[in-house]
Chains A and B, each alone.
Chain A
Amino acid sequence: MKYAAPSSVEEATSLLSSSPSAQVFAGATDVVPQIRAGRPVPDVLVDLKKIDELVSLTNDAEKWTVGAAIPTVRLTEDAAFSGEFPGLSEAAGLIGSDQIQSRSSLGGNLCNGSPAADSVPALVVNGARALIAGPKGTRLIDVSDVVTGPGETCLASDEFVVEFELDRMPSRSADAYLRMIPRTEMDIAVVGAGARIVLSEDGTITDAAVALGAVAPTVVRVPAAEEALVGTLADDDTLVAVAAAASDACNPIDDKRGTIDYRKQVAGVLAKRAVLIAIERAGQRNGDV
């Protein structure tokens, strides 16, 4: 295995195109354990962290641009970013220990393709887009379209995610993410639930997004929950409908960490709670961003 650390996107794509089993990495917090567990070792490992775009965090009036290889600790410790996206920041902050946080990236969390990847439901509810670079240039796709199954993405072997785009959070809008694990730290989600809510001045929900992790082969949106929320004040009946829709959207596995019934029930509870947190936060976000 050879290590390569290109300094530009073009250099990285040409390296990927010229080596048959080259693989990109950022923190290697998935890559190394996978190699240790017996996955074939690529002939070239391409370190993305020396490319400026991959490690920069910027914003303008319209959007945030988040480098795909930024260590997640930089996102959670950035007061402006985590203040505007508390849900995404909490989700990113749940990935592993402090030792892992100094390495783990959103690009790696997404492209590893785990159904339980914590940041993905939070990216999806925020409508994040991924800028993909390849030999023919770049394309922008919805994060929700990147993962196609466990460990599978729609990226070609010579493509990689450069950065994520997130629209600026308008006033009276907010996100939230909750996960259920059997311990309090250092475990993989049994269920993860992300929500984003937009409120009108009188508190009526005008837009809602709900997404679940770890309950299906990929992260799933829950349109029935979103429809149930829009136009309401999130009264008890609505929340019962949200929970039922979330449970119905699950197609979970049955394993030692949670049975199918358990995961479905927890998905309903967490979706409801995440929605309530997002509503409370949205209500406090008045005025300028």
Chain B
Amino acid sequence: MSQEHIDEAISREYAAGFVSDIESDTLPPGLDEDVIRFISARKGEPDWLLEWRLEAYRGWQQMTEPKWAHVHYPPIDLNAVSYYSSPKSMKDGPKSLDEVDPELLAMYEKLGIPLHEQEMLAGVAVDAVFDSVSVATTFRGKLAEAGVIFCPISEAVHSHPELVRKYLGTVVPRKDNFYAALNSAVFSDGSFVYIPKGVRCPMELSTYFRINEAKTGQFERTLIIADEGSHVSYLEGCTAPMRDENQLHAAVVELVALDRAQIKYSTVQNWYPGDAQGRGGIYNFVTKRGVAHRDSKISWTQVETGSAVTWKYPSCILRGDNSVGEFYSVALTNNFQQADTGTKMIHLGKNTRSTIISKGISAGHSSNAYRGLVRMSPKAAGARNYTQCDSLLIGDRCAAHTFPYIESRNPSAVVEHEATTSKVSDDQLYLCQQRGLDAEKAVSMIVNGFCKEVFKELPMEFAVEAGKLLEVSLEGSVG
């Protein structure tokens, strides 16, 4: 493919890049204990939670930003960030969908988010987090019948304090890392899910995150607890408006799979990636981790096409015997995007198993790194890991890197690692074009073929969405 073709293909516009004109309540930029007290008070939080936040904040002050990732960006001025923004009309919180600001609903329509009845029939319950506040949780009635709790975490703090208090910070400790500590101090909202013992959640649960306000950070916090023998599938989608300045997103997700429980967590991440010159875009520094107890299973599936800089390693701590961890990832970078993403599989229990399938696609001037850790602890007798890590390059100005770390301290554990790097070649594109396909169609077909193994892990209705997202993100990228 000629360079012009590549350039043209890469220069596709960001489809979710509108700004919503909604009056909002935004805290002035800067962070100190008063800001934390403000956030906590605004949410009417109990004292223990305020103390929990302050403790995280004090820890964070002693910490420094991690520098080991294979990404480069100018220093982030964390005092120029606003740590709280909520749509004004939501001050008292909506009681039902009818009370939700119509502008907001219109925006979600634009995003294609299924908030309304007809889409609910599709069986998706949606929690939408707009800037920092959860604005609507659909389908609660049906979920309540099954005993499933699915609500904003700020609400769970009041309605189910015992669960929140018991599990919050147990998977990702407050001082786990710089961004997790920051999140623990200032998190404003996110989703809370509890599936009772033996219950199969009757529908997909879904959260859409959107950053709207300028100069706001988004620090959502999600906590999912699957009690013994329960099953849940959860999907999150993310978008943000196009802005010239960079915006910070530092989320924490904690999953707890108790004995025999199964959690499937899927992400379609399309935060604004910046423009073709590399201006603007979201800095996405996320800590996602799950603890798997005996005979349980945690499966992470992610399709990542957005963000200017991504730093993200959804991980599994396979604590219980026979527990299973899976990580299926498609990470696509284009233009000047940088991604350093992968997973950690920490095998603690006997006969624990993990599978890692990572597909990295780099186009434009982007850089895409896979970083994965597989650790077999001395007690992990009979544990097994299989890792397959494939990179696909489009054009010749992008880069792919693979950083696998394997630590095996049990001689009976088996770790397998396979890695490939391939290129969408000019000859492949020529073959496609000679058969009548245009270059964009050809690239999207090749990339979709490359990602097949991961797409088949996504809930069906989202697999289509993911395919389309790749197509849009790539349009112009290799011809």
Partners in one complex: no
Binding site for A on B (CB under 8 A): none
Binding site for B on A (CB under 8 A): none
